[in-house]
Amino acid sequence: MILAEHLQETCKGKYHVVRELTRGGMSRVFLARDVKLERDVAIKVLSPDLIDPAAIERFRFEVAQAAKLQHPTIIPLIEVGSVLVDQRPVPFYVMPYAPGESVRARLSYGGPFTVTATVRLLRDVFGALEHAHGQGLVHRDIKPENIYLSGSHAILADFGIAKAIADQRGDQVLTRPGETMGTPAYMAAEQLAADPRTDHRADIYSVGVVAYELLAGKLPWGGASPSERLSAQVRGEMQPLAKLRGDVPDELVSTIAKCLSYSAAGRPQTATEALGMLEGVVARPSISVQLPIELRQETERIRAVPAFFQSVIRATAPLAPLWRGMLVAMWVLANIAYAGMRAQDGGSSLARAASFTAGLPGTLVTMAVVTEGGERAYGIALPRR
């Protein structure tokens, strides 16, 4: 009998298993329907290797503690149970199904986030941590896969699961000496080293890694193994974010850098402090030259983006943000010059002004050239990601 059938038999009368959503090395997630409440839920079944069968009850207790968290940006845990597979109890837990997508999925096809979207996400995540840390609970596995986008907000999933797994294995604080629980690429140095004194500041470091990746499209530290990443952290081998994204405000650069401090004492000491550092962050405005007032209404009506313009935008999508912005801007300027020459050749004068607004990817890019007779107009828009 396959796992889905085992799970359906266990949840019979309570949940109807619809299909498998995702699977990984540590878990498999199934979409199910709550029979009584008529709502969709997600059931995550952990790998049998993660849990000692003799400690299932302890695991349930730890998850129950995390389930007490009630916050708008935390996906709550509904219940925990176990399913028998080959006569061995395998734990699962149930949470509301979030129809949005994970940050990992968005990064995979959308590339780096805008500054505005990044700051909004960070505020939501730090808000969730402020609430949880205030109740003595630490996440220990913050990464793009555990952050979901729902409307204009970010919500944090799997709160307390890493700790529950570690604790049921006999780890009083985090893990046994020499063992870690979490995702190495997003773990602070003390967590990578399995330091028993690791606390909530490791979560703040993990958010810093996520923030860097959102803006740069890559992780701050190189290295294929945890030991190589730890070595890079110690040596401070991180490419400055400001060199990768020219549109990131200095305040945000410094906030992320502080979160990524090698020493826990060098990071924001609380999520509340981190939230305060984000208060003054404002996205840098685009470069803008306004049309004369009599032509603004004419320009406003140019909204359509011809298929050829769309192909230019798509062709530049794989490029780094700075290069993409520069190439699009150069292409638009070339069209302005071309339109001017054509207008002069045709005997009609170029419009009294043209507007060009350029921003780095994620901001709005618009261009319009309008001749006095209205016989020629060009428009391009790069919508906010």
Instruction: CATH 3.30.200.20 in the chain: give the residue spans.
Output: 3-96
**Is residue 141 among the annotated active site residues?**
yes
Helix (H), strand (E) at residue 369: strand 366-370
Tens-place pLDDT, residues 187-240 = 898 888 888 888 999 999 999 999 999 999 999 987 667 677 777 777 777 888
Tens-place pLDDT, residues 136-152 = 888 888 999 999 998 88
Q: Is the dihedral of CA 218, 223, 225, 226 positive or negative?
A: negative
Question: What pLDDT is stored for residue 66 in this prediction?
Answer: 74
Q: Choosing from 141, 158, 167, 195, which is the catalytic residue?
A: 141
Which of these, 31, 40, 27, 33, lies nearest to 15 by C-alpha position?
Answer: 33
As a whole number, mean pLDDT of residues 337-355 equals: 44
Please state which CATH number belongs to domain 3-96. 3.30.200.20
Q: Which of 33-42, 78-87, 263-272 has the lowest mean pLDDT?
A: 78-87
The angle that helices 115-134 and 201-216 make with each other, rounded to 10 degrees, is 170
Which of 217-226, 240-249, 279-288 is the most confident on average? 240-249
DSSP three-state, residue 108: helix
101-278: CATH topology is: Transferase(Phosphotransferase); domain 1 (1.10.510)
Instruction: CATH 1.10.510.10 in the chain: give the residue spans.
Output: 101-278
pLDDT above 70: residue 262: yes
Tens-place pLDDT, residues 7-44 = 999 999 999 999 998 877 677 889 999 999 999 999 98
DSSP three-state, residue 241: helix
Residue 58 CB: number of other CB atoms within 10 A?
16
Question: What pLDDT is stored for residue 25 in this prediction?
Answer: 64
Which of 107-111, 233-237, 357-361 is the most confident on average? 107-111
